Amino acid sequence: MTTRTARVATALLAGAAALFALATPAAATSGTAAARLTVDTGPLVLTPTDRGYVGTLTATISNRGRADGVADLLITEPAGASFIGLDDGTPWFTEDLVDNRRVIGSFGGRVAAGDSRALRLNFQVWTTARAYPMVAPGGSIAVVPGGGTRVADRDSVPTVFRSTSGSVRAPRVYRQAVETDLAVNGGAVTLTRQADGSLLGRMPVTVRYGNDAPSFRLAARAVLPAGVEVWSTDPQDLPSFPDSFDVPGGRFMPGEERTFDVVLRAPAGTPAGALGSGSFTVEARYVNEPVGDVDPADNTTTFSVGAAG
């Protein structure tokens, strides 16, 4: 989804809520009355797990004005790709990137004059747990009047990573990688004849994710001998295409290696013998854009393809 599309969708959602608020008798006020929205947060304290750090932040939206108001949210992540949603399931959209961290747009809800409402926001930072605590500056929550563009109030989000022993004393600054450090390895594959005359063959492929650069998926591009195509992966959790596939299993932790099978197919009538060489090139994607890698040379594996008699 493009940034422009996300903004339009957010504006439509907030606009619908605003119409509902105007239709409510309690929202009728004098022409001089106005909502005055503010937002307050506490610290986000992240706890180490075997799949990174997790934590929940409470943000309180208050209306200090004399008219009911509708709030939109702009959430700047403390670390890239760390925001995972609101407790109440409210839809959200990526609006922008700032220093490789997403700015998330979401709906904060209707807040009556003089009232407040609390929201719980969930985060997960996919990095290896450290024996020392850390802090991440730069996160924030902003509130925007529904359908508007000007920020009414913003509060910074002090973010603390507990050490593996639970300490928060004397923290270091968390520095997240920007470029990935991927590596992929495969081997020769022999296709064998099936009952319908076509040929299939499995090739084990190992992918390693070397650091904590944020990404959501790993896309692989295949270059194969004439007539040979990608048929599937095993396991498979996203569709494959004749010249591409996604690495199964979702996001990686730093240093994680994952081995899976790529199934190749050739049509009936393919002769036995050497069919040629092929390659797979793996690339990380973050907010639908490719991510640079510290050493692109090991992002490609080459192999030979043959057909059994």
> What is the SS3 assignment for 84-117?
EEECCCCCEEEEEEECCEEEEEEEEEEECCCCEE
Share of the chain above pLDDT 90, in %: 86
> For 103-155, what is each residue's pLDDT tens digit?
999 999 999 999 999 999 999 999 999 999 999 999 999 999 988 889 999 99
**Mean pLDDT, the chain, as a whole number?**
90
Summarize the confidence of residues 257-282 as an average pLDDT: 97
Per-residue pLDDT of 68-79, as tens digits, reads: 999 999 999 999
Q: What is the pLDDT of residues 56-65, one digit of tens each?
A: 999 999 999 9
**Collapsing DSSP states into helix, strand and coil, what is residue 18?**
helix
> What is the distance between the alpha carbons of residues 297 and 301, in angstroms, rounded to a whole number?
9
d(CA 232, CA 145): 48
The answer to whether the Cα torsion of 94, 124, 140, 121 is positive or negative is: positive
| Residue 26 DSSP class | G
Mean pLDDT computed over 228-244:
97
The model's pLDDT over 169-208, given as tens digits with 9 standing for 90+, comes to 999 999 999 999 999 999 999 999 999 999 999 999 999 9
